[in-house]
Amino acid sequence: MIERLSAKLAQSLKDAIPDHPASVAKLKFGIHILLNTVLTIGVAVVLGLLIGDLAGVMTVLFGFALLRAFSGGIHVKIALLCIVVSAGAAALLALTRELSLPQPVFGWISLISLLLVLVYAPSRIAGQTRIPRRFYPHLKVLSLLIVASNFVIRSDLLAIAWFVQALTLIRPWKGGEHRAQKSA
């Protein structure tokens, strides 16, 4: 649905301004990213209002997105499913706001998140970003700093959001992407 809408809008733009240097493919990609972002935020806002915790949902969504931008992670290939999963997960995780994490649990969740980021980040970003491989170590450091910042911020919601995001970084050590990279 979003893919088709992006294609139609891109073609309409190109038809309206045929001399524009951007190709239909580039326009489609940009529109797709914009629609995905706007719709994810829109659905998250609706869910936040429904559960009565818009601030919590936005905290989780933006915290998750911030870490994801640098660390990568599993990608949902179908845009509409990505929107539903992202906004739904933000709403579900925001419901944990009522739970106050005991200091040891907060510490363990944050430490495990740091270790997962250290081992796996950046994960599954090849082909998803234009950032050259030589900068991947910098992405790892930025990801580590983001997670470590919560030892100062001390947000239970961010600890949980970053833990879930760190879990999406895990990739199998046998077969799949890891084996393909090793043999290349």
Over residues 164-181, the mean pLDDT reads: 70
Q: Look at residue 183 and tell me whether its pLDDT is greater than 60.
A: no
Residue 126 to residue 179: CA distance in whole angstroms: 15
pLDDT digits (tens, 9 = 90+) for 7-58: 999 889 989 988 888 898 899 989 999 999 999 999 999 999 999 999 999 9
Q: Which residue range is the domain that position 123 belongs to?
A: 2-183
Q: Which of 34-43, 62-71, 116-125, 166-175 has the lowest mean pLDDT?
A: 166-175
Q: Look at residue 182 and tell me whether its pLDDT is greater than 70.
A: no
Residue 173's pLDDT is 65
Q: 38 near 9, Cβ under 8 Å?
A: no
pLDDT digits (tens, 9 = 90+) for 91-128: 999 998 888 889 999 999 999 999 999 999 999 888 77
Sign of CA dihedral 178, 181, 182, 183: positive
3-class secondary-structure state, position 20: coil
Across the chain, mean pLDDT equals 90
Q: Look at residue 172 and tell me whether its pLDDT is greater than 80.
A: no
Structurally, how many domains does the chain consist of? 1
pTM of the predicted structure, to 2 decimals: 0.83
Q: Look at residue 181 and tell me whether its pLDDT is greater than 80.
A: no
3-class secondary-structure state, position 72: strand
Residue 79's pLDDT is 87
The tokens 């294609």 sit on which residue? 7
Residue 116's pLDDT is 97
